[in-house]
Structure 1
Amino acid sequence: MILPPDYLKHLESILKEEISSYQLSLKDKKALGLRANTLKISPERLSDILEGLEEPVKWCKEGFYYDEEFKPGKSPYYHAGLFYIQEPSAMLPASVIPIEENDKVLDLCAAPGGKSTYIGSRLKGTGLLVSNDISPSRAKILLKNIELAGIKNACVLSEAPEKLSLKFPQFFDKILIDAPCSGEGMFRKDENAVNSYIEKGPEYYIPIQKNLLLEASKMLRPGGIIAYSTCTFNIMENELIIKDFLDNNLSFSIMPIDHEDYGISKGMAILSENAQSLSACGRIWPQRQKGEGHFIALLKHNGEKMPYEAPPFKENKIKNIEYFHDFCRNNLNIKLEGNMVQHESSLMMLPYGITDLKGIRTVRSGFYLGDLKEKRFEPSHALAMALNKNNAKNIVSFTETDEALYRYLKGESLHMDIKDGYVLLCLNEWPIGWGKASNGQIKNKYPKGLMMN
């Protein structure tokens, strides 16, 4: 791999004699990882049922490395939402930001969803997660992953940060910015990343990164925390971005990150104008750890936390809502209650505390329950993935070796002697989707875009 000379020269100024070991590391195999979705399963149990997992990831207690022979995307447990496939270094930002239950959290550059799904699991169904990506196509992939994970308290947006900061002034307790960057940590994983770097180096991304931090600071509540991260190594996009922000925002201070115990290297010993050391930042280097590399900084607003008052919910008349209640009564063992709205035929349950999203490009305003038709309610796949086996009255449970499981995941109908009506199909105790039984046949309701090849 031929690296750009300017890049190598800058990196040598950081790594000194370690530059040769960095260059050698680029010849190693890329690090492969996945993370347990604790909304559904513990890391310990996931390790028991998945063959091919290796040692845990030091900086992420839910993460594992896996063997290159193992293909997790082809596992039926992937379709049950039990884990998210994620490069190990990329697990760092959402693991170090101190998420608490009932927090309102913004993931500003969220696609494809690795960090959002991690945050969603840490919220444990409480609070609010707003996941945003400015690209509408990437935001759709983000939505798919959030729904697969069974997250009920999320909104998915596709909007510019300048518009979000007008809609959400001083709103969020925690904000994660996994900023667009020159991608130096992608060189081993993707050789095309070198060509992208030559076309768009650090100079292209620096204004974008500064603007993301500025707009995020407008949306942060006093006492809140911003996590800023990149998958690049140079100091211009990392420590110097943080220094510039601290120099111009005196109400913020940098928070130290646990370093050595978790295999995270310190940031560069650069001082801000008010003498805050950026060695408090964290880095993962590919020659030191089993990962492609990452940078992370935590910035805390020094103001006092304010009590939060949720905006009043405006009741909306929902057409044909009785069919939703009929579905719940006939098919579920739980009540689905909350602030509901209707968008055309779609029925949504809004997360607690979400503000009016008028004027914001919204991919999903809340938990998608299903569609209200003229004389029936059709449940969504998102609803199936947010349930557990005991929530449904009519279930079919497969084991990993059942042929019928794979036929279902490929979109085939199943022949079974079962009560007519909606059926929640499960892999062991974990839902994988809906079917509709009639006269001994289960019509497949598995989404086409998720089907196994």
Structure 2
Amino acid sequence: MDPIVSAEVINFPPQFLELMHQALPDENDFADFIAISQRPLRRAIRVNTLKISVENFLVLTAEHPWELTPVPWCQEGFWVVLNDEQIPLGSYAEHLSGLFYIQEPSSMLPVTALFAGEERPLTLMDMAAAPGSKTTQIAANMANHGLIIANEYAASRVKVLHANLSRCGVTNSVLTHFDARVFGAALPEQFDAILLDAPCSGEGVIRKDPQAFSQWSLESTHEIAQTQRELLFSAFHALKPGGRLIYSTCTLNQIENQQVVASLLAQFPDAVTIESLHDLFPGAESVVTAEGFLHIFPQRFDSEGFFVASLRKTASVTPLPLPSYKIGKLPFQPVSRLIAQQVTQLAESVGITWDDRLNLWQRDNELWLFPKLVEPLMNKVKFSRLGFRLADIHNKGYRWHHEAIIALAKPTPSTLALSAEEAAEWYRGRDIYPNSPLPKGECLLSYQQQVLGLAKVVNQRIKNSLPRELARNGPLFK
């Protein structure tokens, strides 16, 4: 067992135990649930195929002091046993450069369900996106094609969401910061697919967070379920006819799971059907409900608890009243063809390239790249962040932004490949003093064939340009 946290004795509320006893009538099964809930959770990662294939990742990390076990429902997912605890998973070079995401395997299931079969959505919404595990997984499944609107209600989590999307090289997303109950009215029948990983009571994460029950009550569970119903109805209105809607939670009770879905079916009996997930992966039949949902208790796969429902919208429904808010004037404007040509050529000279899925926009002296598919939506909803910042214009040319470099730049013949020690110094925010001669001016830096940033060489010193908020303290990779 490779724990995430030290085990704590958990005192379950009596009313919660009553709910679980109803769901798990077999006494041995119920005892297994109580026992495993006291055990620490296993670590796991998901390889980010936007930056590296699973095969190449396994070759790259073959000498790492860890043991990887495949996750049966996600071909990019692995449980991890660390044989050396000195370096945390988040301090490995491959994590810092976005080659993998630390993610609990059960939380990989909703996106696996979203793309099951031949589903290839072009426009997609992640209604409760932070910190970004599922949004980055969605982007990898879409290979950065199409458009993802990643919404997060909590203002404090939007910055974390953006940082994770940037680190993982996601270029087809835009961010919104709303109570997601607005989208059904604001963007009716707009999306090919929607993921609603709903805010919940968090009963399934008890092994990672022993304090998950500190505020639990049956009354609050019913209040949360009412919010979930409103969010689910909003998602359903925003979904195109024929589209797939995944509703998921990391909680265990039926009040927030089966009963929430049942309320949608009762409201729109002729416009929604359930798609059974019984064959989503080998072993799914052991956790599928009579309705076709996945209801995973932690003792089933030695994981977090999770619930996943796949719903298909079969017909249009009466639209909701349009929202009364005003969007305001967009502070961006498209750049001219001449400037676009010039910027593209200069960007290519430092290794930054993009294709026609992205368009150049300007705000004052800032240049941004927006996914082309978001443009029809710009006058319908206010965005917290549209695409990402490419460069600032100044009197000597362009100053390229770090987020654009790590998302778009590829190593070139003139890229300076760093050693492990030098790359660690870069991530600590320190200047680097190589022993070998250095080129003059700006140059891309790489480690493990992944671009780390664009730096200026001053004499025999590589001046560190890593944004201060990304600098790391503590032990790093060796």
TM-score, normalisation: structure 1: 0.88
Query: Which of the numbers 26, 37, 47 marks the counterpart of 1:26?
Result: 37
Q: CA RMSD in A?
A: 2.5
**C-alpha deviation, 1:343, in angstroms:** 2.9
* 1:333–1:190 distance in 2 versus 1, CA, 3 Å: closer
Instruction: State the SS of the aligned residue for 1:147.
Output: helix
1:428 — aligned with what? 448
1:61 — aligned with what? 75
1:414 — aligned with what? 432
**C-alpha deviation, 1:445, in angstroms:** 1.3
* 1:48–1:199 distance in 2 versus 1, CA, 3 Å: farther
Gaps of 5+ in 2: 1-9, 317-331, 474-478
User: What CA distance in whole angstroms lies between the structure 2 residues aligned with 1:25 and 1:32?
Assistant: 15
Query: Which of the numbers 46, 52, 55 marks the counterpart of 1:41?
Result: 52
1:282 — aligned with what? 294
User: What CA distance in whole angstroms lies between the structure 2 residues aligned with 1:341 and 1:175?
Assistant: 27
Moved over 6 A (4+): 318-323
2:323 — aligned with what? none
Tell me, yes or no, if the aligned pair for 1:389 and 1:426 is still in contact at 8 Å: no
Query: Which of the numbers 10, 21, 24 marks the counterpart of 1:12?
Result: 21
* 1:262–1:394 distance in 2 versus 1, CA, 3 Å: farther
Counterpart of 1:36 in structure 2: which amino acid? V
Cα shift readout 1:247-268 (whole Å, capped 9, x = no counterpart): 1112110001125714564444
* 1:185–1:161 distance in 2 versus 1, CA, 3 Å: same
Query: Which of the numbers 276, 280, 305 marks the counterpart of 1:293?
Result: 305
User: What CA distance in whole angstroms lies between the structure 1 residues aligned with 2:466 and 2:161?
Assistant: 19
| Correspondence 1:371 to 2:389 | no
Tell me, yes or no, if the aligned pair for 1:182 and 1:200 is still in contact at 8 Å: no
* 1:103–1:225 distance in 2 versus 1, CA, 3 Å: same
Count of aligned pairs: 432
* 1:434–1:101 distance in 2 versus 1, CA, 3 Å: farther
Identity of paired residues, percent? 29
Equivalent residues in 2 for 1:352-367 (5 A)? 352-354=372-374, 355-358=376-379, 360-367=381-388
Equivalent residues in 2 for 1:381-392 (5 A)? 381-387=402-408, 389-390=410-411, 392=412
Cα shift readout 1:39-75 (whole Å, capped 9, x = no counterpart): 1112233233332142111111110111253621010
User: What CA distance in whole angstroms lies between the structure 2 residues aligned with 1:203 and 1:84?
Assistant: 33
Tell me, yes or no, if the aligned pair for 1:259 and 1:282 is still in contact at 8 Å: no
Equivalent residues in 2 for 1:84-123 (5 A)? 84-98=101-115, 100-101=119-120, 103-123=122-142
**C-alpha deviation, 1:333, in angstroms:** 7.0
| Worse-superposed segment, 109-118 or 183-192 | 183-192
User: What CA distance in whole angstroms lies between the structure 2 residues aligned with 1:47 and 1:196?
Assistant: 41
User: What CA distance in whole angstroms lies between the structure 1 residues aligned with 2:145 and 2:218?
Assistant: 43
User: What CA distance in whole angstroms lies between the structure 2 residues aligned with 1:356 and 1:97?
Assistant: 23
**C-alpha deviation, 1:365, in angstroms:** 0.4
Equivalent residues in 2 for 1:313-352 (5 A)? 316-317=334-335, 324-325=343-344, 327-332=346-351, 334=353, 338-352=358-372
Instruction: State the SS of the aligned residue for 2:444.
Output: strand
| Correspondence 1:203 to 2:203 | no
Instruction: State the SS of the aligned residue for 2:106.
Output: helix
Counterpart of 2:448 in structure 1: which amino acid? N
Instruction: State the SS of the aligned residue for 1:40.
Output: coil
* 1:297–1:336 distance in 2 versus 1, CA, 3 Å: closer
2:241 — aligned with what? 222
Tell me, yes or no, if the aligned pair for 1:159 and 1:360 is still in contact at 8 Å: no
**C-alpha deviation, 1:332, in angstroms:** 2.7
Tell me, yes or no, if the aligned pair for 1:341 and 1:350 is still in contact at 8 Å: yes
Tell me, yes or no, if the aligned pair for 1:43 and 1:63 is still in contact at 8 Å: no
Instruction: State the SS of the aligned residue for 2:42.
Output: coil
2:171 — aligned with what? 152
**C-alpha deviation, 1:320, in angstroms:** 7.4
| Worse-superposed segment, 14-23 or 47-56 | 47-56
Instruction: State the SS of the aligned residue for 1:283.
Output: strand
Cα shift readout 1:55-100 (whole Å, capped 9, x = no counterpart): 1111111101112536210101111100000111111111111275
Instruction: State the SS of the aligned residue for 1:9.
Output: helix
